[in-house]
Structure 1
Amino acid sequence: MIEQLSGYDVGALMYCPAHAHGTIAGALLREQYPKPFSLAFCLEDTVPEALVEQAEGELYQILQEICRNRSEHAFYLPLIFIRVRSPQQLRKLAAAYRPFSSILRGFILPKFFVENCGAYIQAIQDIAAAGADYRYMPIFESPAMLPLHTRYEHLAQVKEQLDTVADRILNVRVGGNDLSHAFGLRRTVHDTIYDVRPVAHLLTDLVTTFAGRYVVSGPVWEYFSGDGWEEGLRRELALDLLSGFIGKTVIHPNQIPVVNDMLKVSAGDYRDAQAITGWNGADGLLVASSADATRMNEYNTHFNWASKVLRLAQVYGVREN
């Protein structure tokens, strides 16, 4: 049985193509990547259709080598997930990779929306019934979300269906680049996804729909080198957190320490969160000034925020400034 995870534990989720990283098992053994992080092997957009079967075989060998190394040496092992192409491939790989269930935490479900969510959910239920203990992360990136006249109805339908397997959903993810592509747009290193207004509205709708029950992770930042990339990533992460997103898809190890640093909570927020969650109302007061006497803390208004701050602090720590 895999230990209990929450959506907060995923953090920086680094993607790599499943067919192009035959040495990644050795890199994990040597702990070459900054930590903590999570790892996603992609069998979807990064793999040509003609090479899918080959990539599946290569990924089998990678997982086999990681398991072997893990049995012989102690090293940091990230949470490992596989991004599949379809519900049919999900069923196939959930069975084929069952020997690696000690290290494989679950699957990422791309372009998850009304056209395929029913098939994905049925697959999740059948895999669980067969005794496999996987977790899943659907990605909302389908162009089918664009039309305004159906968007809210379809989001509500998908949410209702997803809730039937809520105990298996680790977090909900969003595809900022795919959604930008649908509009023929791309942000520069000086912009954030929130400056791409049509996409920003979609992201807001996704948080509004899902964040009440699930952790929703922020979209990938595609810059990892050159002038301004880190400043841009930090700026977007700050807006992610302000907008209700927790965690980030990354595409290069350079991005991992930045994400981890931004997921730390400030010392002031941590002190206030402790105070808010510690109130019991015995003295008749559920409101007080903050520890530094700069803002108001109110139990009934800020408890959800405080609980989130403490969970982030537990996983990523507290920033002293």
Structure 2
Amino acid sequence: MTSEAARVRRRPRRDKLLISLGLPGALALILFQYLPILGNVIAFQDYQPYLGITESGWVGFSNFSFLWDGNSEFLNALTNTLVLTVVQVVLVFPVPLALALLLNSLAGERLKRLMQSVLYLPHFFSWVIVVALFQQMLGNAGMLNTFLIQHDLPQFHVIGVPELFKVLLTTQAIWKDTGWGTIIFLAAISQIDQEQYEAAAVDGAGAWKRMLHITLPSLKGLFILLLILRLGNSLSVGFEQIILQQGPVGLPASEVLDTWVYNNGVIAGNWGMSAAAGLVKSVVGIALVIGANKLAHLFGERGVYEK
């Protein structure tokens, strides 16, 4: 037996503590993430819950008819999803980076830690609480309109207005998750060699130039990696957040792919068609990750995985 083979055989015994720590997480991942993938078979069936997968009839690609029949409800959900995806990638995704740069510029560790704690807090609120807070502040009888009425000023309606729904969703997403999103950028900034900043300062570079020529280039690879991962999940734009607020604004303004799957599957009982829509969304997400990763390779970045 070669020394390399002997080393491989000894590795499980040597790393048994590490393996035992990682095993529960691996089992949970397999049980709740990989095994449910097998359930996508119902996308090709006339699935009936009381019959189960084995007894439900096969219909081939009939459940994918919404792709070529011009289903108006599906097209509306797809349009809303794509608009929200673009808005969140352009407006929501870069905000944690900007906030991390701002926090990093604060003088004094105490102030920085206090600001971080305050900004992280909304991430731990459920969407039920976040939506309730926004309704209390911006609802028709909320704090803002109560103040305007008391001072004989025109009311400003936000909650329940279809034209402002996407703006409301974007604002809520920024308020809830921006602080949490800064963690990984702050960790990356802390790993930048401080001697680069000192050398730049000696050469007369101000704070703005140091950020442009040292900080941002050092974060470029991380930013591209996170962007690729975000694109893979881009068609999921917040099911719980939207379903909680869908009633007042109506389906034309609020329906997205995830809520369309819920309304057609769980509510209407079209299980096969809803599974087909979910399968299409997953395939598109995989294609976006692979395409974006190849594009990153063209620009000399590593991406999610190497060539």
TM-score range with shorter-chain normalisation? under 0.3
* Structure with the higher helix share, 1 or 2: 2
User: What's the TM-score, normalizing by structure 2?
Assistant: 0.24
Structure of higher CA gyration radius: 2
* Structure with the higher strand share, 1 or 2: 1
